Structure formats: structure tokens, C-alpha cells
Structure 1
Amino acid sequence: MRRCGFRSAYGESPWHLLLLLCSFALTAYAGVRLLHGDWLGIVLWIVGAAVLHDLVLLPLYAVADRAVSALLPAPASWINHIRVPAFLSGLLLLVWFPLILGEQTRRYERSTGLSADVFLRRWLLISAALFLASALWLALRLWRDRPGAARE
């Protein structure tokens, strides 16, 4: 028996389509508000970020991941305990790099009234906390999975 309903045509429920359309509307609204001021600079930044990521950063962290994987023993099940905090730290650096590197601090301070000299320190602390949390999680996993551990 063949169904001819909305779900069979679209693949999901009507609520999914409504939520998707609402998220597009919100994104369009944010884009119009964001591009109202310096639209050329923002478009150049977005295009530049996409090109920089795809042509420079992606090959770099793919090579770094292969190098780390090659240095570890064959079944390195804990490689993700390095990948995840490195990814999150890199993502924070990518988003906040002008302020972390000390660029555009006057513009930030003028717009917000807050000091911009804390970004490098905070990024380093957050990165250290991410790697520490990942190391503690790995230690807990290894302790739980040790050969003499009691099994339920």
C-alpha cells in the first residue's frame, strides 16, 4: 500500500518543516541586522573565513591528526581525548582570534566598554581546563576498564 501524505513527500513531519522555516527566518533577520552596518566588511570576513578554513586550516589539522595518530599505538582508543579539546580550543581561537591576538581591541573596548586584555589569558585557561577535563575523563575510563575491575 502506497502512502501519499505530507510525511512521505517531505520525509519528516510538518513540525520539522515549520521549525526549519522559523530557523531560516531567524537567521535572515540576524543577517539583515548584522549586515546593516558594515556589510562589505562582514561579507569579506565570512568569505575569508570560509576560504581560510577550507584551503589552509582543514589540511593543517588533517595533517596534525594523522601525525598524532601515527605516533600513537595502533588501537589508540583515546585519540578522541586529544581531538575534542583541541577542536574546541581551536574553535574558540578561530572565533575570538582578533581579540586573543590583541587586534581590534580599541574597537571592542569602544563598542562594549569592557577591557579586551583578558582574552588571551582566558582562552589559555579554557584550553587548559578542556585538556585537563579530557585527561581526567580518560583516567576515569582507564580506571573503570582495568582488568581487575568488578563487572556488573
Structure 2
Amino acid sequence: MTRDARIPRGLFRRAYGASPAHLLLVLGVLGLALYTAPRLLGGDTVGVALWFLGGALVHDLVLLPGYTLADRAVLGIGRRFARFRRDGAGTAGAGWVNAVRVPAFLAGLLLLVWFPLILRRVDHYGEATGLSGDVYLWRWLVAVAVLAAVSGVWLAVALWRARREARRR
């Protein structure tokens, strides 16, 4: 075989975007998922597909615009707050924004996972488990408060360190 008849080195990577090993791994995982999916679904394929479709639509049409607008609002508040500071020691930067983003994300994730219990939308929970479902709202609120407090302390330490570094210069 002559050099002209061979595929030039790197052509596959440029065309596909990754190595051939990556393609083989993706195809193997896809094959494994296709093999196991019918066994895991237990005959309710249409119901599971509808839940996935509904989840994707709710995320893309409701949740994504909602948390994007909330994030932009937090960024705008951070920029306005930074104008009033004399030293601008990191308040408008990633530290301040992430001090709001991370606890909000984790609180939202906890709410998403536990919302039937937090909002008391489970009728037979007490009968099925023998436990009271009344504690979940307060436990979620405590978790949110702890997340916000830890994030606030983390931000305060980061701002203190940034201010100390600025004074040294």
C-alpha cells in the first residue's frame, strides 16, 4: 500500500473530534445500555419514555430559562454592588457569584429529589413507612440555612484573604 492510499494521520480525529478508542467506548456503552434497558424498564417502556420526554421538556422550557434569569439577576446585583466598593476586592467576581450559585443549586437539587415529602404531597407515606412526613420541610429549610451559612463563611474568608493580599502589594 502506498502512502497516498493510506488515511492521513489525524484525519479521523479531525473528522470525529476524538480518537477511535473514544468511538469504540461510546458504542460499547450504548450497546450495553440498549441491552439492559428492556430488562430494567420491566415492560413500562412507554411510561419511562414519557417521563424522560416530559422531564426534558420541563427542563428546557421552564427550568432552564428560570435559573438562567435568576443567575443573570445575581450577576447584575454583583456588578452594582461592586460599583459602590472602593477596593472592589472580589465582590463582583466568581467568588461572590458562586457563593450564591452553589447553595442555590444544592437547595434546588434537594427540593427536586425530595419535593413530594417536603411539600407534603404523599398521602400514604406514614402508613407505608410508619414515620411522620411532617419533618421534611423543616429539615430542608435547615439544610438550606446550613448551605447558605457555610457559603457565607467561605465567601467572608475569601474576601478577607483577598483584602489582605491587596494590602501586601
User: Is 1:96 aligned with 2:114?
Assistant: yes
- Matched with 2:61 is 55
Q: Is the 8 A contact 1:35 1:42 kept in 2?
A: yes
The DSSP-based 3-state class of the residue aligned with 1:79 is helix
1-side partners of 2:125 and 2:155: how far apart? Answer: 41
Which has the greater radius of gyration?
2
Q: Report the CA distance between 1:19 and its aligned residue.
A: 4.6
The residue type equivalent to 2:55 in the other structure is: A
Q: Report the CA distance between 1:103 and its aligned residue.
A: 2.2
The residue type equivalent to 2:114 in the other structure is: W
The correspondence for 1:122, drawn from 134, 139, 142, is 139
Aligned pair in 2 of structure 1 residues 47, 7: CA closer, same or farther (>3 Å)? closer
User: Is 1:138 aligned with 2:155?
Assistant: yes
What TM-score do the two structures reach when normalised by structure 2?
0.64
The residue type equivalent to 1:97 in the other structure is: F
Aligned length: 150
After superposition, the C-alpha distances for 1:60-86 in whole angstroms (9 at most, x for unaligned) are 222222222222335511111101211
The answer for unaligned runs of 5 or more in structure 1 is none
Aligned pair in 2 of structure 1 residues 7, 58: CA closer, same or farther (>3 Å)? closer
- Matched with 1:70 is 76
After superposition, the C-alpha distances for 1:94-151 in whole angstroms (9 at most, x for unaligned) are 23322322223526974xx474714333332322222222112111111211146786
The DSSP-based 3-state class of the residue aligned with 1:102 is coil
- Matched with 2:87 is none
Q: What CA RMSD, in Å, does the superposition of the two structures yield over aligned residues?
A: 3.6
After superposition, the C-alpha distances for 1:21-54 in whole angstroms (9 at most, x for unaligned) are 4543554466434421644443333222221111
The answer for unaligned runs of 5 or more in structure 2 is 83-91
